[in-house]
Structure formats: C-alpha cells, structure tokens
C-alpha cells in the first residue's frame, strides 16, 4: 500500500482544479466543526458575504451547493425548471451541451442556439430565439466555456428574456473572479460556479446564487422539486433560516472553511477589478508565449476567456504524449481537448495563483523542452507580456 | 474579519460529523491532485478496494458519490427507482421518512411500513408488505436510524424482496464499520453511507455500492436517469472505465485522499470485527454511565445501534441549555432529538475514534457538572464497562 505522503505534487495548470495555496490547505485541515455549530454558522455567513462580493450581486441567497460545479448546474435546473418549460440554451461547447441534457432530463423543452466550438454566440441569435415562438421560461448561457476558452458576451440577453417573463440563467464556473462579471448589472437571475477554478479552493463545492425573480418562480412551482438533496426550499432553512439554521443535510464543513479562506484571498486581499486585470494580463502573456512556440489561440481576439487559454496544437505533434511527459516528468498538469476538439487543442488554466509569471515560466520552459524547441523566444514573449 | 485560526476545536460526540484524526486531516491537506491524474486514479482504485472490505462485499462498483450522505440516498433512488415503481419503505425515524419523500419525488409509489420512533421494525411486517399486492420494485430499510439510535435486523428481508424480483436497498450511513454489517451476506443490492460517521473523515462524500442485480435494473430503465450529476451510467465511465477514466464531473480530490486515509485506519489498521466489537463495548459503557446520571436508552436491549446512543433526558432538565453549555463551555458537541423526539432525547455519537474511553470520560464528567450531579458513579460505570 502506497504511503500517503508519496502522492506527487503537481503544478495544476489545466482546466481545473487549479493550484490551491498553502493558506487554503491549512484552513481545509483545521479541526472539523459540526454543521450546526454556531462557529460554523459564522463561517457560512461570511461565505455568503464574500460570494456576494465575488459575484457583484446583492442577492440575499448566495451559498455553496454541497457538490462540485455540476451539482450547482443540477441545483439550478431542479429548482427553476419545471416539466414542459421551454428553455433557450446557448450551445457552443461541452458545458452548453451538458445543460441541454440536464434540462431535457428534467422535462424541459430545449431550444438550442448553436454555434461553432471556439466562437462566442452572437447575442442577437439568442435574443431572436427568445422572442420567437411561445415565451420561454428561461434563457441559459455559459459565461466561460471551459471546453473552448471562450467568454460569452451577455449584452441585451437579460432584457430580452425578462421581456418575456423568463429567467436569465448563467454558468460562471470558470469565469468567477477571473473574468469581468457583475451579476446584477448583467441582470442574471441565478448562477452557479465551482470552487476549484479561479477561487483556488479544492474541488467539491459549487457557489450558487438566486435572485428574487428566481425565488418567485421556485415558490410558484406546480410540481415538487424532483431532488431532495438540492431542494432550495429545504436548503434555505439551513443557509438563510429565520432565527437559526435548520438541519437539512450535513454541510461539508472542512471544505467550506477552505472556501472561505479562498474567497478572502480572492476578494479581500485582492480587489476584484485588480484580479480581473491580472487574469487578462496573464492570459495574454501566455498566449503570446505559446504563439512563439507555434500554437494559436482557438478563440479570436475579443472572445478569449481569460482564465482558460485554449490553443490549437500544431500539426505533427502527438499532443497526448507531450501532455503525459509534462505531467509525469515535470509535474505540470495541462488539459487536452474535449469532444470535437479532442487531440486538437490544449487547454491551459490561468486561474487565481496560477495566473502568474512564475508558474507560467515553468510551463513554457517545460513545454518547449518536450516539443524539442528553444524556449528563448517564448519566454521573452512571456516576460514582455508581464512587463507591459 | 475573524482569523481562521480562531475557529474552536470541538470534541465531536454528536450524530456526526465525528472526530477526524490528525492523520486524516493531514491527508486532506496534501497538495491538490487533478481528477484525471493517474496518481489520483490509484487513490480511487484503493478506495474501491477498501470500501469493499468495509462493506464486506464483492461488488465491483464501490465508490464515493461526490456529495454528503443524502446525495448517496438520492443517487440510489435516481438510478434505481423509475416513475411508477412500487417501493416498500420502512419508516421508524427521520431517515426512513426522508427516503419515502425522495422516492415520491422520483415518481415512485411508496408503501410505508411504519413503526415507533425508537424501536426496530418487525422484519415480518416488512416481509408481509413485500408479499402483499403487486410486486414491489424494491424494499428499502435504514440499517442504523441516526434519529433514534436503532439498528434494524435484516433477517429474511433480502429473500422476500428477491422472491418478487425486486431490489434490497439499504441506508448504512451511521452503521458502516461501527455496527456489524456484511452486505453480501445480507443480500443487499445497493447501499449508501457517509464519510463523517464511523469512518471519521470530514463530511462531503457518500460511499456507495451497487451489485449486479441493481446494475441490471439500471440498464433496463425505460426512462433516462433524471439526474445528470448522479447518473451512474456516466459516473461508471469514470470510476469503473475500461482502459481509463473518462471525465464526468470533477471529483473532490482532496476529500477522496482523506477518505482513503480514513478507510485505511478503519479496515487495515484495525480488523473490522475488532472494530465492531470496540463500538459495541463503547456503546454499552456509555449507556451505563448515562444510566447512572438518570438517562435511559431509547432503544430496548437488542435494538441499540452501537455508533449512536440515543437516551431519554430526565424530566425537568432544559436539555437545549445543557447541550449549549457543553458546546460553548466544554467544546463538546452532542446532538438533540429530531422530529417527535425534539427536546426529549440526546443523541451521542460513538463513532470511530470517538468510540473510546478518553473522549467518553470528558463527556460524562462535563455532562455531570452541567447537570449539577456528582460524576463519580457515572465514571465508575464507564470504567467498569471498559474493563469488562
């Protein structure tokens, strides 16, 4: 049996999980608290405050769902979509596909607005779909498509769906605190994220928020929420109870203490606009460095998702073999492509503490070595990007 | 803003979470691994092996669901119960009630076999319900009712439901490794547990297993699994994939490394029958100690759940006030009653490292003090129990 301490220490520069700072790991390993302990209640209250800051929202309801990002997606659909609801879904990558699947499983009628993997959707196409035909119950888009490294513009979307009395739903798993997003300004009614991307906490929690319009829809449901575990009506008695927290399920207490520490690092120690700007800069520096190695970004200018750089692998490279050597010989994790992009792209995380010059230097130098290229020009481009 | 290190250190002797040993906290805080890293794949493989040992099963499929115990319950129902399925459910406490609710949400027809909170169900009543009327798709019981401290005998149940071609489903959240349970011998087709009870890992994972009969039912479904997050068809490509792990959701990697360590402590460092016997002894010693303080066990002899001692609070005691002082002045957490037992019982965890003389001495001494009683007789009873 392997010794626990024999686990390798990787530099996590893939699509997530991202590098977890020592301070967050230390918080994770603090002695376990009970989920009904008032001291843990304070932790949950502070997480709510910090999440509101991170999401730039005044929503009263903001808490981490007790599961990974996909559990956040499922919580959104299980609570806010009823059988027969018509939902317009932007599909231009794996996570839009996944949402379409999820909505169909919950009896929703999916209206797909499709686009090329690697491009943003034309907001007008989404708006047209919202206005066309019977009123949709919701419009869903992925703010940061982790499968393609594309950031979706949200302009005009909230107005369009609100004109038809529907909800504006958002996946901000990869963008939260790494790409500019102001939830209330964008008119978002509900959103979910993940702990293991730009927040740099371990995977296992899904930051989640709903506004008043979404809560009204929840309260007006004709059918029970089909999930007991994710039923907001029950969860709210714990996360937002009048006069105390009523037991629903046992909250993952250690994970929440770690998430609180990660949120403090993200929105207290660093001012959110500064953090967004750092991610932009880190993204562009790394893009330029890989351009010098012959890799071009999948997303065109203006559509790149800062926390995730997806780049086309030049012909003739066995990308899986190089990634494997990066992992096993250099302890650096990056991600390959998914779906139609499998074997064609690399996806590199630019997330939280990973959005910095030092880890990027290690990656660029190691990648150049494994590709049999001189790293000089690429490192020079990286440094130029960071000194700009 | 509170300093992270200002969190209190509690002795967790409630209904869970239970005390987490230093070795498990240290494993939790090891540098985060990616969910597709081969080194993490080895962790998941070892967890599968250790879970099979803990559950005493040869089921190929044994893995932790990425959520708390209730997510394990939901995974069981979402995958194995289809709309219209008739399910016999034993209801004699909160967790049987919860399962009845969950099955109804999934369109199942619930046949309740009810019993008093604090008593085991008569197996014959369950068997009769299984034989009565149209064939049920499943029989569900709670092995260890955490709300009442009752262990449910399983004799004859598997044969009865298998005679009618249904599945035998079990909640072993609180009993796993703390109360005798041999899954294959008991004929169980699917079971779920929680990381934060007798395993002494932090809350956030739900050990889960299904056997061949359950997998057949899954494959024969007429409708899609209504949950994307918990769809076993998709999860199995990750936890039991031929030739590698296919991405489904991002596994909570740190939590799983901690769970592996906790499982090693439970079934490698300590032999399972020894561990069961230690829990029995700890339960009885603590029962005797509280009897000396005037508290009687809710469950009659022969029906007590070793990992959870539920005791009636004598008249005239403001139990909530005493519990609060135990928590805030002594840093000892115990739990109150739920549902019809609220205000009437204390529920004391006897779980893993908590099932030991030293923590029990601290609790008994503190409880005697806060009750204004002399601890001498109770401590003597405790010591006698441990020296027997």
Contact A71 B264 (CB under 8 A): no
Instruction: Quote the CA–CA distance of A21 and A265 in Å, as a whole number.
Output: 9
List the beta strands (DSSP E) in B143-187: 144-145, 150-151, 167-171
Distance from CA of A268 to the nearest CA of B (A): 10
Which residues of chain B are within 8 Å of residue A76 when distances are taken between CB atoms? none
Which residues of chain B are within 8 Å of residue A192 when distances are taken between CB atoms? none
Instruction: Quote the CA–CA distance of B278 and A51 in Å, as a whole number.
Output: 44
Give me the DSSP letters along B276-291.
HHHHHHHHHHHHHHHH
Nearest to B33 among A7, A247, A264 (CB): A7
* Within a domain: A357: yes
Instruction: Quote the CA–CA distance of B227 and B232 in Å, as a whole number.
Output: 9
Q: Which of A230, A248, A268 is the last residue of a domain?
A: A268
Contact A70 B20 (CB under 8 A): no
* Within a domain: B106: yes
Same domain flag for B348 and B236: no
Which residues of chain B are within 8 Å of residue A102 when distances are taken between CB atoms? 228
DSSP letter (8 states) at residue A267: I
Condensed to tens digits (0 to 9), the pLDDT of residues A165-201 reads 999 999 999 999 999 999 999 999 999 999 999 999 9
Q: Residue A5: how many CB atoms within 10 A of its CB?
A: 8
Instruction: Quote the CA–CA distance of A226 and A228 in Å, as a whole number.
Output: 7
Instruction: Quote the CA–CA distance of B254 and B40 in Å, as a whole number.
Output: 10
Indicate if the alpha-carbon torsion angle B186, B80, B90, B192 is positive or negative: positive
- pLDDT, mean of residues A10-24: 98
Q: Which of B215, B237, B268 is the last residue of a domain?
A: B268
| Residue-level pLDDT at A6 | 81
Distance from CA of B165 to the nearest CA of A (A): 26
Distance from CA of B152 to the nearest CA of A (A): 22
* Within a domain: A108: yes
Paired with B63 in beta bridges are B208
- pLDDT, mean of residues A24-42: 97
* Within a domain: A12: no
Nearest to A29 among B29, B105, B251 (CB): B29
Residue of B14, B19, B29 best to disrupt the A interface, most CBs of A under 10 A: B29
Q: What value of ipTM does the predicted structure carry?
A: 0.96
Q: For chain B, which ranges sit under pLDDT 50?
A: 1-2
> Residue B377: which CATH number?
3.90.1150.10
| Residue-level pLDDT at A1 | 43
* Pairing mode, strands A61-65 and A206-210: antiparallel
Count how many domains chain A has. Answer: 2
Residue with tokens 């409708």: B223
Exposure on the CB side of residue A354, measured as CA atoms within 13 A: 32
Instruction: Quote the CA–CA distance of B348 and B130 in Å, as a whole number.
Output: 34
| Residue-level pLDDT at B3 | 54
Indicate if the alpha-carbon torsion angle B331, B332, B338, B344 is positive or negative: negative
Same domain flag for A220 and A171: yes
Q: Residue B218: how many CB atoms within 10 A of its CB?
A: 19
Q: What is the residue-averaged pLDDT of chain A?
A: 96
Which residues of chain B are within 8 Å of residue A227 when distances are taken between CB atoms? 74, 78, 105, 227
| Residue-level pLDDT at A343 | 97
Same domain flag for A293 and A345: yes
Instruction: Quote the CA–CA distance of A99 and A104 in Å, as a whole number.
Output: 9
Helix (H) or strand (E) holding A76: helix A69-80
Residue A77 above 70 pLDDT?
Answer: yes
Residue B8: closest CA among chain A residues belongs to which residue? Answer: A39
Nearest to A29 among B14, B25, B36 (CB): B25
Same domain flag for B179 and B260: yes
Quick check: A342 and A320 in contact, CB under 8 A?
no
Task: Quickly list H helices, chain B.
Answer: 22-28, 38-55, 69-80, 94-105, 123-131, 157-163, 212-219, 232-239, 253-264, 272-292, 319-330, 357-371, 376-387
Quick check: A320 and A343 in contact, CB under 8 A?
yes
Distance from CA of B204 to the nearest CA of A (A): 5
Peptide bond into B116 cis (omega under 30): no
Same domain flag for A184 and A307: no
Query: What φ, ψ does residue B187 adopt, rounded to 5°?
Result: 75, 25
Paired with B65 in beta bridges are B206
Instruction: Quote the CA–CA distance of B256 and B49 in Å, as a whole number.
Output: 13
CA dihedral A128, A134, A138, A143 (to 10 degrees): -20
Same domain flag for B301 and B241: no
Instruction: Quote the CA–CA distance of A70 and A181 in Å, as a whole number.
Output: 20
Domain containing B317 equals 272-387
Contact B17 A32 (CB under 8 A): yes
Paired with A170 in beta bridges are A141, A191
For residue B189 the two structure tokens come to 């087709």
Which residues of chain B are within 8 Å of residue A1 when distances are taken between CB atoms? 46, 264, 268
What is the b/e burial string over A340-363, where b = at least 16 CB atoms within 10 angstroms of the residue's CB?
ebeebbbbbbbbbbbbbbebbbeb
**Residues with Cβ within 8 Å of residue B317, at least 6 apart in sequence:** B371
* Within a domain: B12: no
Residue with tokens 């750089």: A309
Condensed to tens digits (0 to 9), the pLDDT of residues B349-378 reads 999 999 999 999 999 999 999 999 999 999
Report chain B's terminal Cα–Cα distance, integer Å.
Answer: 50
- pLDDT, mean of residues A155-161: 98
Same domain flag for A224 and A289: no
Instruction: Quote the CA–CA distance of B141 and A81 in Å, as a whole number.
Output: 31
Q: Which of B268, B287, B315 is the last residue of a domain?
A: B268
Percent of chain A clearing pLDDT 90 (strictly above): 95
How many helices (H) and strands (E) are present in chain A, helices listed first? 13, 15
* Within a domain: A1: no
Same domain flag for B72 and B131: yes
Contact A204 B14 (CB under 8 A): no
Instruction: Quote the CA–CA distance of B283 and B382 in Å, as a whole number.
Output: 10
Residue A4 above 60 pLDDT?
Answer: no
Condensed to tens digits (0 to 9), the pLDDT of residues A99-150 reads 999 999 999 999 999 999 999 999 999 999 999 999 999 999 999 999 999 9
3-state secondary structure of B55: helix
Helix (H) or strand (E) holding A190: strand A190-192
Which residues of chain B are within 8 Å of residue A260 when distances are taken between CB atoms? 4
| Residue-level pLDDT at A2 | 46
Nearest to B333 among A16, A34, A254 (CB): A34
* Within a domain: A33: yes
Distance from CA of A204 to the nearest CA of B (A): 5
Same domain flag for B245 and B370: no
Which residues of chain A are within 8 Å of residue B328 when distances are taken between CB atoms? 38
Same domain flag for A130 and A94: yes
- pLDDT, mean of residues A322-349: 98
Same domain flag for A263 and A314: no
Task: Quickly list H helices, A147-252.
Answer: 157-163, 212-219, 232-239
Quick check: A128 and A73 in contact, CB under 8 A?
no
Instruction: Quote the CA–CA distance of A210 and A91 in Å, as a whole number.
Output: 22
Distance from CA of A59 to the nearest CA of B (A): 21
| Residue-level pLDDT at B388 | 79
Which residues of chain B are within 8 Å of residue A101 when distances are taken between CB atoms? 228
Helix (H) or strand (E) holding A206: strand A206-210
Using left for φ > 0, alpha for ψ between -120 and 50, and beta otherwise, residue B384 falls in alpha
Same domain flag for B201 and B247: yes
Condensed to tens digits (0 to 9), the pLDDT of residues A348-384 reads 999 999 999 999 999 999 999 999 999 999 999 999 9
Quick check: A203 and B82 in contact, CB under 8 A?
no
Residue A257: closest CA among chain B residues belongs to which residue? Answer: B4
Helix (H) or strand (E) holding A312: strand A308-312
**Residues with Cβ within 8 Å of residue A63, at least 6 apart in sequence:** A44, A47, A48, A51, A207, A208, A209, A235, A239, A240
> Residue A231: which CATH number?
3.40.640.10
Instruction: Quote the CA–CA distance of B365 and B252 in Å, as a whole number.
Output: 39
Instruction: Quote the CA–CA distance of B359 and B18 in Å, as a whole number.
Output: 12
CA-based nearest residue to B13, from B387, B358, B381:
B358
Residue B205: closest CA among chain A residues belongs to which residue? Answer: A252
What count of residues does chain A have? 388
Condensed to tens digits (0 to 9), the pLDDT of residues A222-281 reads 999 999 999 999 999 998 876 678 889 999 999 999 999 999 999 999 999 999 999 999
Instruction: Quote the CA–CA distance of A354 and A335 in Å, as a whole number.
Output: 14
Contact A25 B31 (CB under 8 A): yes
* Within a domain: B198: yes
Q: Residue B38: how many CB atoms within 10 A of its CB?
A: 14
CA-based nearest residue to A34, from A257, A261, A264:
A257
């Amino acid at each position: 049996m392997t010794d626990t301490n024999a686990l390798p220490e990787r530099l996590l520069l893939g699509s997530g999980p991202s590098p977890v700072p020592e301070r967050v790991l230390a918080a994770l390993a603090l002695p376990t608290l009970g989920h009904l302990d008032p001291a843990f209640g304070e932790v949950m209250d502070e997480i709510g405050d910090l999440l509101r800051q991170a999401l730039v929202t005044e929503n009263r309801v903001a808490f981490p769902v007790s599961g990974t990002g996909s559990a956040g997606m499922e919580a959104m659909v299980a609570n806010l979509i009823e059988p027969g609801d018509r939902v317009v879904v932007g599909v231009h990558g794996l996570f839009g596909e996944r949402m379409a699947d999820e909505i169909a499983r919950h009896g929703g009628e999916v209206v797909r607005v499709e686009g090329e993997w690697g491009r943003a959707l034309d907001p007008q196409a989404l708006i047209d779909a919202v206005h066309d035909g019977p009123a949709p119950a919701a419009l869903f888009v992925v703010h940061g498509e982790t499968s393609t490294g594309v950031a979706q513009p949200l302009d005009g979307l909230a107005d369009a769906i609100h004109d038809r009395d529907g909800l504006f739903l958002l996946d901000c798993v990869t963008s939260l605190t790494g790409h500019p997003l102001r939830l209330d300004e964008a008119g978002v009614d509900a959103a979910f994220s993940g702990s293991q991307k730009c927040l740099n906490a371990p995977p296992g929690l899904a930051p989640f928020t709903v506004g008043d319009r979404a809560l009204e829809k929840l309260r007006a449901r004709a059918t029970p929420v089909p999930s007991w575990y994710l039923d907001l009506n029950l969860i709210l008695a714990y996360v937002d109870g009048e006069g105390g927290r009523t037991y629903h399920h046992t909250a993952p207490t250690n994970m929440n203490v770690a998430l609180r520490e990660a949120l403090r690092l993200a929105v207290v120690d660093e001012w959110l606009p500064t953090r967004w700007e750092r991610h932009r800069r880190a993204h562009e520096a790394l893009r330029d460095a890989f351009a010098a190695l012959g890799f071009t970004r999948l997303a065109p200018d203006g559509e790149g998702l800062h926390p995730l750089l997806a780049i086309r692998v030049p012909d003739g490279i066995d990308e899986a073999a190089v990634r494997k050597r990066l992992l096993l010989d250099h302890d650096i994790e990056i991600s390959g492509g998914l779906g139609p992009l499998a074997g064609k792209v690399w996806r590199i995380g630019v997330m939280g503490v990973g959005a910095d010059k030092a880890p990027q230097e290690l990656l660029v130098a190691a990648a150049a070595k494994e590709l049999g290229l001189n790293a000089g020009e690429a490192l020079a481009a990286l440094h130029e990007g960071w000194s700009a």
